[in-house]
Structure 1
């Protein structure tokens, strides 16, 4: 697999020189400063490519390999307002990216909230820090801080009782910090939601259930996939994070069955998967090695990270934290083996995309990461450690002593 690294642009506290020293071959980035629904122009794309490569200065040895993400607007997800104009803009942005040589485009279809965590600096057993989703804290926010009208029907009695006790023990500063964590918006983006803004956005989804949102996803794909196929672009949908409904919002890309539905609905090589072992691994019914094997031909991008599930559990929902890359509950060795088997199959077929780009997703803040102020989940040393571990697994699985070719 091609080893890549997420970079949030010139303002990222992890410089490109450090990324190169970590052993990454390519960069995953996006034009976060362009508002969702507006065109990505050739000039802006070229500027980012030049930044990544060091054109006009010191060469970095890096290339912009994957776009993460070209965002899908809320209007498109709801099919309201300017959604048709936004789809036309999306197609123009795809054309500009293809003209610049970019072929792998990640996106997600999560309504309102992207990845959701209650704690961005949870202290783990060795003293480092990780991101965590605490179900009781989340319920306390939903029931008592946001005070969503329908929230009481979404939780069992035990969780509601724990959430009430947790809320009673919080200070106003605690509630403010929790709300800030949960309304932070897309990684790398400058915008987020106020509580009133979040309430307004949730109200716009009052009449959109999972079935309707799934139809809207298919409508979006029916529009953009033919364009992507014509341009030689591979679109790859990131799963829900976490993979269960939140705040009454439907989640429709949480399981293998969800992926199979969207792939079959618009059957094209350009319609593919971002396999995120961390997002999907929160659910114990998601078999990551099996998904890597069965979805393999349509996997265009891979995020490798691990989570540790925790109590309490309330239906599909559960608490979890981001564990070390080889220490969580997903069998990372088996997952990587399945992905490398898919690459070997592609090589045998002569596919141009035989090498699948991967990145070490997230990472714990360790050593000098602590206090550096990196984007939550994207420290330098924690991801370097994760990439080194994953690289070690990939190297060992390719070794003749393992393959039997010694």
Structure 2
């Protein structure tokens, strides 16, 4: 039994076409209606049109990534009740068109965060990197978040000051753009003013409150998901620790366990991202698949290299700190045990070869993900042949 092999597609404006994904050997695409504002209903007509584009090249669409959760829902104030009803309507409409898994996250304000979108590897390919010192410099001297200095030690502030002083104007702009990268599927950049205004709205929300809001949200929608045969799959925090003073509540095995135990409905599940969870050394990745596998409905397979001091970068898929052989082996065992195929996509491929000269969605180039998918397919085929 094999994983359902797919790639993420950002829609008609994606530099990586559906034919590119088909030629890579994928069965499906993982995608979303990126043109619809968070909180608005995904109409049946829009979903059908999007699915038509995919099926026209012989691919399938059964996994959504992502159906965004509006900030009012995360804060549980403002118009959150209306946005929850809209979310339910979107789930119903998605079910009508064959969607089986809906991925989402509960990270406040920002999605995945890196300080360098073009970190050069020894082969001169480019990858994504997070450097804690660089982020501290951004926080203190570019964003100028109120009272941020109280969250850093004297040594950390001195290092950040030295780091920022050594940057050229161009490097400062690149750091700003990396840290304020727009939502996935967008080439846009958030403004510092927008982020500061949103941060102010979270000043009274700590981890416990955000965790309670997440549980309440899932409790509100899970019956709708179940009736419509949709599995909800939450993506972990990326990076899996607090940034900008914001709470992070989906960073560890205990976080994932808490959520699935708080809402026992089997439609409440996980997107297992080995890269996000893998940034924290205490997360036992193979063990998490063993212990949480019955609630894992989507796999993001990637590996990070933990550099120390909170720094990390995206490694090649068969390298870095994730033992990909063990992870794929555990996925195979899980599928055989439960007699089901799990959707999988390679995540955050390196920018390499011809893609070095193209405008791309960082982490989602064609060739880097093709290489990753080929490695993962070969690994899975070999492991299946051995057992």
- TM-score using structure 2 length: 0.98
In structure 2, the partner of 1:162 is 159
The CA distance in 1 between the partners of 2:62 and 2:99, in whole Å, is 7
Please report how far the alpha carbon of residue 182 of structure 1 lies from its aligned counterpart in structure 2 after TM superposition: 1.1
Q: In structure 2, which of residues 31, 34, 55 is the aligned counterpart of residue 29 of structure 1?
A: 31
The yes-or-no answer on 1:182 pairing with 2:157 is: no
Aligned to 1:341: 333
Instruction: Look up the match of 1:328.
Output: 320
Corresponding residue for residue 366 of structure 2: 380
Task: Compute the displacement of 1:364 (Å).
Answer: 0.3
2:13 aligned residue: 11
Question: Per-residue displacement from partner, 1:77-120 (whole Å, max 9, x unpaired)?
Answer: 00121111000000000000001111110000000010001111
Cα 1:198–1:220 change in 2 (3 A) is same
* 8 Å contact from structure 2 (residues 187, 361) kept in 1: no
- For the pair 1:393 / 2:370, whether they are aligned, the reply is no
Give the whole-Å Cα distance in 2 for the aligned partners of 1:146 and 1:208. Answer: 20
Q: Does 2:82 correspond to 1:80? A: no
1:190: how far off?
5.9
1:191 Cα deviation from its structure 2 partner: 5.2
The CA deviation at 1:65 is 2.2
Q: Does 1:108 find its partner at 2:105? A: yes
Deviation string 1:322-372 (CA, Å, 9 cap, x unpaired) is 01000110111101111111100111xxxxxx1000000110011111021
Alpha-carbon separation, structure 1, partners of 2:239 and 2:283: 12
Q: Which residue of 2 aligns with 1:319?
A: 311
In 1, are the aligned partners of 2:62 and 2:98 still within 8 Å (CA)?
no
In structure 2, stretches of 5+ residues that fail to align are none
SS in 2 for 1:290: helix
Residue 33 of structure 1 contacts residue 190 of structure 1 at CA under 8 Å; is this kept in 2? no
* Structure 1 SS opposite 2:62: strand
Aligned to 1:350: none
In 2, the alpha carbon distance for the partners of 1:166 and 1:51 equals 47
**Match of 2:345?**
359
Q: What runs of 5+ residues in structure 1 fail to find an aligned partner?
A: 55-59, 348-353
Q: Secondary structure at the match of 2:299?
A: strand
Query: Which of 65, 70, 83 does residue 68 from structure 1 map onto?
Result: 65
CA distance in 2, matches of 1:71, 1:190: 17
Alpha-carbon shift at residue 150 of structure 1 (Å): 2.5
Q: CA RMSD in A?
A: 1.0
How many matched pairs? Answer: 385
Match of 1:46 among 15, 33, 48: 48
Question: Aligned residue for 1:310?
Answer: 307
SS in structure 2 opposite 1:248? coil
How far 1:275 moved relative to its partner? Answer: 0.2
CA distance in 2, matches of 1:330, 1:221: 30
SS at match of 2:357: coil
Q: What is the rounded CA distance, in whole Å, between the counterparts of 1:165 and 1:11 in structure 2?
A: 40
CA distance in 1, matches of 2:287, 2:42: 36
Deviation at residue 175 of structure 1 after TM alignment: 1.9
Give the TM-score, by structure 1 length. 0.93
Aligned match of 1:127: 124
Separation (CA, whole Å) in 2 of partners of 1:308 and 1:3: 24
Taking a change above 3 Å as real, the CA distance of residues 280 and 228 of structure 1, as seen in their structure-2 partners, is: same
